[in-house]
Amino acid sequence: MKHLALPFVLRDGHLDSADLHESITYSIGLLLSSRPGMMTFSPTYGCDIWDKEFSDLYSANKADIRASLRNAIDLHEKRLYNVSVSFVGISDSGSHTLGMAVKVSGHYKDGEKEKSFSADYVVG
């Protein structure tokens, strides 16, 4: 089954598609980059990390931040389960030098097969 890819790109009258793993990756990226209340269709959609001051990201309880991110994913990305969130080195996640990088891991069902999911995101 094909899913819509993000960002939406119209080519030859069709929107780009993605497989299930890519769709989950895009969905979590959008969720983690959205502030709660930004999406009028769901006031709870988003990640409350954006309500923190930038300096708070380094002094805040990391367990609280991980739990907050995991709760947002659990609430809004139902295709992924057994979700874990961990911090990874910012240099390991690309060329960004600010913010924090998190690894989101879990499992999803693709048809009858259970598959592992893992992706890194830069937030903050």
For 75, the domain range is: 3-123
The CATH number of whichever domain residue 75 belongs to comes to 3.10.450.40
Cis check: omega of the bond before 7, within 30 degrees of 0: yes
Q: Looking at residue 92, what is its pLDDT?
A: 47
Q: What is the pLDDT of residues 69-98, one digit of tens each?
A: 899 999 999 999 999 999 887 654 455 555
CA-to-CA dists, residue 34 to 29, 47, 65, 118, angstroms: 9, 6, 15, 20
**57 or 92: whose pLDDT is higher?**
57
Q: What is the pLDDT of residues 17-37, one digit of tens each?
A: 778 998 999 999 989 888 888
Q: How far apart are CA 104 and CA 4, in angstroms?
A: 21
How much is the average pLDDT of 53-65? 66
Q: What is the pLDDT of residues 1-17, one digit of tens each?
A: 677 676 667 777 776 77
Indicate if the pLDDT at residue 102 is higher than 60.
yes
What is the per-residue burial (b if ≥16 Cβ within 10 Å, else e) of 31-42?
Answer: bbebebeeeeee
Q: What is the pTM of this model?
A: 0.78
Smallest CA-to-CA distance from 2 within 16, 17, 12, 15 is with 17
Give me the number of domains the chain comprises: 1
Report the share of the chain in percent with pLDDT over 90: 34
How is 50-89 classified by DSSP, letter by letter? GGS-TTHHHHS-HHHHHHHHHHHHHHH-TT-EEEEEEEE-
